[in-house]
Structure 1
C-alpha cells in the first residue's frame, strides 16, 4: 500500500505538489492522471526517495522508501526508461540489478522472457534500443525483485498497440494477485481501461478521485453511449422523447445517456440493437474540464477556473 499524506514539494516560490493526499490500495490499479507538468512525476520521485518533500510524507507499507530493507525486493519503479548506462547491454543492466538485490541469475532470464526481449536484443547496448524496448527493459527491471508495489511513470510511451495491450494484461494480472500498482499517465483512455481507481491532478493539487462511475456521478458531464440498431430513426425518436440528446454518428447514434438507459429505451420501442458501447467521452470531458487551467492547449467550450474541482 502507498500512502501519500499531505505531500508538498516546493522549489523556491514554485510549488510543484501542493498538499496532496491519497492511498493506493493492494489488489488495485490506481491511475494517476494529469496534464504534463501537473505534479505526477514529482510525487512519484518522492515515493522512491529521489526528491525530498518540503512537507508531508509518503510511506510504502508504513515505511519511507529509505527505511525499507533491500527496497528493490518490495518496490519496483519505472520513472525514466532511459535512466540506465547507455553503454551496457539489457542483460547487463538486469544482471547488476539482480546482484544488488541478492537474486539468482535465473531471474534475469525469467524477466527477459516475461517482457518479450529476445536473447539477441538482450545483448544490444541500451543506446541501440528503441523507446519501446527501453520501456520493456524498464518494466523487467521494476519486476526483477518480485515486489509487492509497482510505481510506473508513463510506461506506455513508445509501445506499439500490441505492446500496450500486453502491458495492460501484465499490470492487471499483477494487481489481481494482490500487488499495488500506481500508474501515472496523461493518456486517459489507456489508464481508464485497467484502472480500478483514478486520481486526477492539476496545478499540483488533486481535483478529483474515484472510479469512473463515481467521477461521472459527481461531474457535470453526462455519460455518452454509441449505439447502432436496425431502426435508428425509431430509436432516436424514443431516446429524444425520453429527454436524451441524440446525434447521428457514422452508421449509428451518439447518445447522452448510459448504455443501460439506451438499452431500456430500445426494448420499450421494440428496436433491435446491433451495437451498444460506452462512448467514454463523458469522463474525458470531465478530465479536460477539471484540468483545463493547467493544460497548454485551450479546451473548446471550457473557461479555465481556479483549481478546486470535486472534493476528494
Structure 2
C-alpha cells in the first residue's frame, strides 16, 4: 500500500506538490494522470525518498521509504530509464542490483526473460540501448527483488505497441497477485487501459480520483419519456441542447432542472463525470406530461 497525507513540496515561491492526499491499494493498478509539470514525478520522488517533503507524509508499506530495510526487496522503482549507467551491459546492471540486495545470481537471468531482453541484448552496453530497451531493463531492475509495490514514472515511454501490451499484462498479473502498482502517465488512453483506479493531478493538486469506470462515465442527465419530441421542445425552451441517444435524450443539466421541466422524474443516481471535468453525471427516468 502507498499513502500520502497533505503532502507539500515547495521550491521557493513555487509549489510543485500542493496538499496531495491519496491511497494506492494492494491488488490494484493506480494510474497517476496529469500533464507534464503537474507534480507526478515530484510526488514519486518524495515517495521513494529522493526528494524531501516540505510538509506532510508519504508512506510505502506503512512507513517512509528511507525506513525500509533493503528497500529493493519491498519496493520496485523506475523513475528514469535513461539514468542507467551507459558503460555497463544490461546483465551487469542487474547483477549489481542483485548483489546489492543479496539476491542469487540466477534471479538476473530470470528477470531478463520476464522483460524480453535476449541473451545477446543483455551483453550490449546500455548506451547502445533504445529507450524501449532501457524501459524493459528498468522494469527488470524494479522487479528484481520480488517487491510488493511498484512505483513507475512513465514506464510506457519508448515502448512500441506490442511492448505496451506486454507491460499492461505484466502489471496486471503483478496486481492480481496482490501487488500495489502506482504508474504515472500524461496520456489518458494509456492509463484507462491499464489502471483500476485513477488519480488526476494538475498544478500540484489532486483534482479527481476514483475507480476508472466511474471517472470515465459520460456526464449529464439521460432521460427517457413517453413523448421524447415534446420533452425535447420543453428542454430547448429552457435553453438546453438535448442530444438524441438510444431510447432517450442526454442533456447537460442536473436532475433538479429536469424535475422543474417534468414532475414525473422517478429515479436519479450519481455517476462519475469525465476525468478532469469536475462534472458529475446523472441518469433519470422521466415521464413527460401528456
Q: TM-score range by the shorter chain?
A: 0.7 to 0.9
1:10 aligns to 2:16 (yes or no): no
In 2 relative to 1, CA 120–21 (structure 1 residues): closer, same or farther, beyond 3 Å?
same
- Cα deviations by residue, 1:134-168 (Å, 9 ceiling, x for unpaired): 00000000000000000000000000000000000
- Cα deviations by residue, 1:124-143 (Å, 9 ceiling, x for unpaired): 11110000000000000000
Q: What is the CA distance between 1:40 and its match in structure 2?
A: 0.2
What corresponds to 2:227 in structure 1? none
3-state SS of paired residue (1:163): helix
In structure 2, how many angstroms separate the alpha carbons of the residues matched to 1:203 and 1:60?
24
In structure 2, how many angstroms separate the alpha carbons of the residues matched to 1:100 and 1:51?
22
What corresponds to 1:242 in structure 2? 248
RMSD of aligned residue pairs (Cα, Å): 2.3
- The 5-angstrom pairing of residues 83-232 of structure 1 reads 83-216=83-216, 220=219
What corresponds to 2:40 in structure 1? 40
Instruction: Tell me which structure has the larger Cα radius of gyration.
Output: 2
In structure 1, how many angstroms separate the alpha carbons of the residues matched to 2:168 and 2:196?
12
In structure 1, how many angstroms separate the alpha carbons of the residues matched to 2:276 and 2:196?
20
Q: Tell me which of 286, 293, 311 is aligned to 2:274.
A: 286
What corresponds to 1:26 in structure 2? 26
- Cα deviations by residue, 1:175-226 (Å, 9 ceiling, x for unpaired): 0000000010011111111211100000100000001332246x74689xxx
- Cα deviations by residue, 1:239-286 (Å, 9 ceiling, x for unpaired): 4662148xxxxxxxxxxxxxxxxxxxxxxxxxxxxxxxxxxxxx9x93
3-state SS of paired residue (2:140): helix
3-state SS of paired residue (2:26): coil
Q: What is the CA distance between 1:38 and its match in structure 2?
A: 0.3
Structure 2 contact 8–18 (Cα < 8 Å) conserved: yes
User: Please, what TM-score do these two structures have when normalized by structure 2?
Assistant: 0.78
In structure 2, how many angstroms separate the alpha carbons of the residues matched to 1:180 and 1:216?
22
Q: What is the CA distance between 1:289 and its match in structure 2?
A: 4.1
In 2 relative to 1, CA 240–111 (structure 1 residues): closer, same or farther, beyond 3 Å?
closer
In structure 1, how many angstroms separate the alpha carbons of the residues matched to 2:61 and 2:49?
15
Structure 1 contact 7–18 (Cα < 8 Å) conserved: yes
Structure 1 contact 10–17 (Cα < 8 Å) conserved: yes
Large movers: runs of 4+ above 4 Å: none
What corresponds to 2:80 in structure 1? 80
In structure 2, how many angstroms separate the alpha carbons of the residues matched to 1:167 and 1:52?
30
In structure 2, how many angstroms separate the alpha carbons of the residues matched to 1:66 and 1:240?
55
Count matched residues.
241
Unaligned runs of 5+ in 2: 223-242, 252-271, 281-290
What corresponds to 1:277 in structure 2? none
Structure 2 contact 216–275 (Cα < 8 Å) conserved: no
